[in-house]
Every structure is written in structure tokens, then in C-alpha cells.
Amino acid sequence: MKTPFKSAKSKCGTRGLLHRSVFLIIWIGIFTIGISVIVSAGEGTQMVDLDRFRNDTPSERYVSPLADSFFHGYSTLTYADFGREFGDEPASTRPHLVPDRSSRSGHAPFGPIESGFQFDTTLIFGAVPSPNLLITTEMHIERSALDPVITEAKLRWSPSGWTNETWRMRMVMGRYWWPFGIHNEEWFSNVNRFSLVSPAAGEVVPAHYNETGVMLEGEWVSGRFAWNGLFSLGNGPASFELHDNEVHTPYDHNGNRTVTARVGVFPATTNLQVGLSFADGVLREGIDVTSFPATDARRFGADFIAYGIDGTYRFEDVETRSYWYWSKEHLEAAPIPSLNRNGGTLEVVYALTKKTEGKNGLTANGRVGTVKEVSLMEGTFRRTQYGLGLNWDVTDQILFKLEYFLHDEQNTRELDNNGFVLSATANF
């Protein structure tokens, strides 16, 4: 029988256990302060719109809670022209938001992406059987309708006793977006800032993947402060996606559970949010000397711990998003004790034209990010990513994007992986 949790001390030692304990104490302290604020708020607290503080997944903007059921989606055609080393081959740049090949189709689960045309279609559908119950399914189709990617298939339940004028809680069950940080908002080619290329910080933690399990989420507000919180217990995200840059990073395929938590704080103004994230789980148990060579990290047992801090801010026509992640994969009986990673991303969005009815105008996007990874045999690998984009909302249903990306590698040879992307999206 597989244990739901594994002791951190057996692999990480006292220091790893101390780091976990300190971070959890900070997270629980913030959560407790928020709860105490709720209790002391009293009956005189003015009623507020709690939806504005929710930690939403991208699909939430398509949900129609006033209808008994809903069916929405989008379709995107993308043309990309990148250097020959832009792809998921060894030592290449991890390129895109949705994998273009599947293990079920007989190919490697992350095949190289080639320059040229490609498409991404997403369907979001569900039902609202009662005011306290929401059922949502989100399905991506890329290249083959016979091999869809299910990113959400969840039941969200909020009992009547879990809702108040100033706070509420919900339970989510099924398959849902992994609640670590805010990088998972960079998934849909329709709603993200850039249509194809993943942020650099996504190489530090499981980028653009989903969790299967149970999660508690909620929001609460009092005075000039608002909070949101998420606590997840699941099987572990499907893959830790530092895929074949310099480090082989494995799937989390064992039966040990992964704990993930995030709390967001809105101090003084609703235009600013600061978030704190934590994740801890076991990746592999024991040493596999038959499947992988000594240079492959998947040969060794490992557990994984990650921390993150993020922030978003809106002021008139400018929006900024930033996050910095740290992670450590502790190895068992390996040449080095751990694989350390850290990285961050900063994005700035500026509205060039004011929004008007039926026409949303032009926005300019900028991104800069960096990632640093320690590999098993080759030392430290670094990459800096720069991105510029122009988005044109022709109508509420039609969106065009033009983007250019530049990647700069350090401590290794410079890769041929710069290029541009042009995309057109129609949504319904």
C-alpha cells in the first residue's frame, strides 16, 4: 500500500524539513490573520463583490452561472517562424503552451514544434444544476481531434453555510488547474498575453499542467484588505516540465500525494495583489538502474519542493504581472544531492487605444524572464527570454497577435531559437 505522504527528512535532511516548516508557518500565519479579520469584521461590514478577488482559472470567464448550462470555446490559427533549435529536442528551447504530440499517438509526449501553420481549438462546457454547484469541462484539441487534452473536468461545490457577505469557500473535486503561482494563466492562446511561447519561469515548476484531487478555495474581505486562498491535495501535476534543456525531468507517476497552497493578498487597493505559493511532493521512489543511464536524473529517487511569490498591478492603461519561483529536486544516491532551479518573469501590458463598445483596440505587450537550472552532469544552465507583442481586438470575438521572441543562453553555446509568431483567434 502506497503512503499518501513521505517524510521529507529521509531525503532532504533537517535543513529541508526546516525550510518546509518555516514556509508553512508563514503561510498558515497569513491564512490565520485573514480568518481573524473575518471573525472581527462584525455585522456592520459593507457588502462587497467577492468575485473580483477570486483566483480564477482562464475558463472562468466563459462560465455562465445564470444559465443552466453553457458551451463556449475558441479556435486559433498560428504561424510561427523560429530558428531550427526552437523545440523540445535535447538542448533546445521549450517552446509552446500545449504539447503538440501525445504518448497515446505513439510519439514522444513532447515532440518538436516546427515553423509553419498550426491550430489550437478549445471547448469549454458545463452545467449549473443549482446555485451552489458548478460542473466544468475544458478540452484542448491540437492537430488531432482523436487525442484531446483534458485540462479541467471538475465539480465545484459551495454549501450554503460556506457563504457570507464578506467571505465564502468552495470545494473543487476532479481535474483542475494546479494552483501554484499565476503562470497557468498563460495557457489559452485566446486569453493570454502571448499565444505560443511559455514564460521562462515556467521551467522552474510544473508549467501549464493540471492536478487531480481535491482543493479548497475561497475569498474573504474586511476593511481595506481582501484575501484569497487555495489548498490542494492531489496526485501531483502530470509532469515537471523542465523538459530536455539541460536536465531530464520526470513525470510524477507514483501514488504519493502532492500538497500545494497559495494565498493572495490585496492590500489597500483592489488593483494590487501579492501571492505566496508552496508545493511539496514525492516524484520517484528508489533507484531505477535499468531504464535510465547514470546521466539521467530519472534514474534516482527524488522528492520535490517549490516556493513562489507573485504580484499583479493595474493602473489606468497599464497592467503588470511578475513572479519568481524557486524549486529543488532532492535526489537519492545521485552524483549531486539536488537539482536547484529558480527563475522569474515580468510582463507589462499597455493599452494603446481606449476600449469602446464592440471594439477593444490595440495593446502592446512586453515580457522579460530568466531561468537558472542545475543539471546532473553539466553544471549550471541559464536562459534569458525577451518578448514583444502587439494585440489587436478587432471585435469581442476576433483577436490578432504579432509577437517576436529573443532567447539568450549563458554557460552553454548560443542556440538558434529566436523568431516571431502571428496568430488569429475567433471565440464564441
* Phi, psi dihedral angles at 313 (to 5 degrees): -150, 135
Whole-number pLDDT of residue 417 = 78
Stretch (H or E) spanning 18:
helix 9-40
Residue 55 parent element (H or E): none
Q: What's the pLDDT score for residue 208?
A: 60
How many C-alpha atoms does 131 have within 13 Å on its Cβ side? 5
- Going by the DSSP 8-state scheme, the letter that residue 8 receives in this structure is T
**pLDDT computed for residue 49 by the predictor:** 75
CA separation for the pair 153, 135 (Å, rounded): 8
Quick check: is 58 in a domain? no
Domain at 271, CATH number:
2.40.160.10
Helix (H) or strand (E) holding 153: strand 149-157
Amino acid at residue number 215? M
Listed residue (240, 421, 211) closest to 328, CA to CA: 240
CB 240, CB 252: distance < 8 Å = yes
Low-confidence ranges of the chain (pLDDT < 70): 1-48, 64-65, 85-115, 142-147, 186-191, 206-209, 238-256, 269, 355-360, 378
Do 297 and 376 contact (CB within 8 A), yes or no?
Answer: yes
Please report the pLDDT score of residue 116 as a whole number: 79
pLDDT tens-digit map of 150-202: 888 999 999 888 888 888 999 999 998 889 998 877 665 666 778 777 788 87
Residue 63 forms part of a structural domain: no
Q: Is residue 391 part of a domain?
A: yes
**What whole-number distance in Å separates Cα of residue 261 and Cα of residue 24?**
9
* Other CB atoms within 10 Å distance of the CB of residue 79: 14
Q: Which residues pair with 312 in a beta bridge?
A: 273, 321
Alpha carbons 398 and 359: distance in angstroms, whole number? 10
Is residue 55 a part of any domain in this protein? no
**Domain extent at residue 307:** 9-40+73-427
In a domain, 422, yes or no: yes
Is 52 a member of any domain? no
Q: Which amino acid is residue 96, in one-letter code?
A: H
- From the CB of residue 290, how many other CB atoms can be counted at a distance below 10 Å? 6
What are the b/e assignments for 6-16, b being 16+ CB within 10 Å? bebeebbeeeb
- Of the CA atoms within 13 Å of residue 293, those in its CB half-sphere come to 5
Classify strands 167-177 and 149-157 as parallel, antiparallel or unpaired: antiparallel
How confident is the model at residue 277, as a pLDDT? 95
Model-level pTM greater than 0.85? no
Quick one: cell of 318? 497599464
Tally of domains within the chain: 1
Cα–Cα distance measured from residue 362 to residue 30, given in angstroms and rounded to the nearest whole number = 39
Judge whether 66 lies within some domain. no
CA geometry: angle at 267 spanning 269 and 62, to 5°?
65
Asked, for residue 107, whether it belongs to a domain, the answer is: yes
Neighbours of 276 (CB within 10 A): 18
Q: Write down the pLDDT at residue 146.
A: 62
Model pLDDT, residue 323? 93
C-alpha cell at 59: 475558463
Cα-based angle 281, 207, 155 (whole degrees, multiple of 5)? 75
DSSP classification of residue 93: B
Grid cell, residue 255, equals 501514488
Write the DSSP assignment of 92-160 as a string of letters.
SB--BSS-S--GGGTS-TTPPPPSEEEEEEEEEEEEEEETTEEEEEEEEE-S-TTS-EEEEEEEEE--G
